[in-house]
Structures are given as C-alpha cells and as structure tokens.
Amino acid sequence: MQSSEEMIIVERLLSEKKFKMTGVRQMVIQFFLNHRGHYKPENIYQHLRKQQMSLASLYRTLDVLKQINFIREISLNNINYYELLMFSSKQLHIHFYCNQCQRVIDYHNETINELMLQQSILLEKNYHDDIQNFEIVLNGLCHRCKEG
C-alpha cells in the first residue's frame, strides 16, 4: 500500500495522541480516503472483509479515528454512520436522512452554513460554552423513495 501525503498527516495526528499506525488503522484510513460517503461499521467491515480484521478491531479503530477528528460519527435512529471529516471540504453541512431506505445525503447551502456559524458564535457568547460540533439532521422521504 503506498503511503500518501494524507496518510503521513494522519500518522502524525495519531502519534500526537499517543496512538500508533497499525495495519488495520491504515486500511480503515485508506477506506475513508477512497470512499466519501456515510458508512455503517458493517458496510466498512464487508468492504475490508478479505483483509485480516475483526469487527471488534474495526470498532476500536473507528473510535480512535473519531478521537483525532479524522472521521465523524452521525447517530440516526440508534445507528452510527461514519464519514470523512478531515481532507473534506464539506466540514459544515446538513444531513438528510431518508426514513424509508435509510440513506444519508449531504445538503449544501451557503446561507444556512453562514447562519449556523453566526448563531454558534452568539450562543457561545450567551452561554459561555465552547461549541465544537454542530449537527443538523433533517429527515423524510428521499427523491428515489418518493417516486417509487
């Protein structure tokens, strides 16, 4: 496996938090660099099944990668999805969850992004808290399910 520039950056972040780069971690990192969507652990596991990896070590790896902000977790109906956060230009976006097919779609809207940023600054001032993450999840029927 070639070690890309991104991989070197992630390795540095891992070592800052006293984590080591392992074969399993490298595989999962590569997966997220190659697949820019929202994935359940089972999806990732199926994808990497041919490699030597247990589901338990995948869960541990996802947790580590979450801690260094390489990926983020979105919880919808008690299901956790993971998506690339670092190296992604879409850090701030709204999620749409389809109640029927359970797809997660990214919505991009500059106006809402700006509003979210402005309002979070205001909220931090008012409540003296430090906001580290935002999440807006809309749900309904996606265009595919609506037609079907």
Chain positions contacting Zn ion, by CB under 5 A:
83, 98, 100-101, 106, 142, 145
Of 71, 67, 60, whose CA–CA distance to 38 is shortest?
Answer: 71
Q: Judged by CB, which is closer to Zn ion: 15, or 102?
A: 102
End-to-end CA, the chain: 42
**C-beta of 130: minimal distance to Zn ion in Å?**
23
Q: Judged by CB, which is closer to Zn ion: 29, or 83?
A: 83
**C-beta of 59: minimal distance to Zn ion in Å?**
20
**C-beta of 86: minimal distance to Zn ion in Å?**
13
Q: Judged by CB, which is closer to Zn ion: 24, or 32?
A: 32
Q: Judged by CB, which is closer to Zn ion: 92, or 98?
A: 98
SS3 35: coil
Place of tokens 């338990």: 56
**C-beta of 144: minimal distance to Zn ion in Å?**
5
Of 73, 72, 79, 71, whose CA–CA distance to 99 is shortest?
Answer: 79
CA 71/CA 135 separation, integer angstroms: 14
Backbone angles phi, psi at 41, to 5 degrees: -50, -40
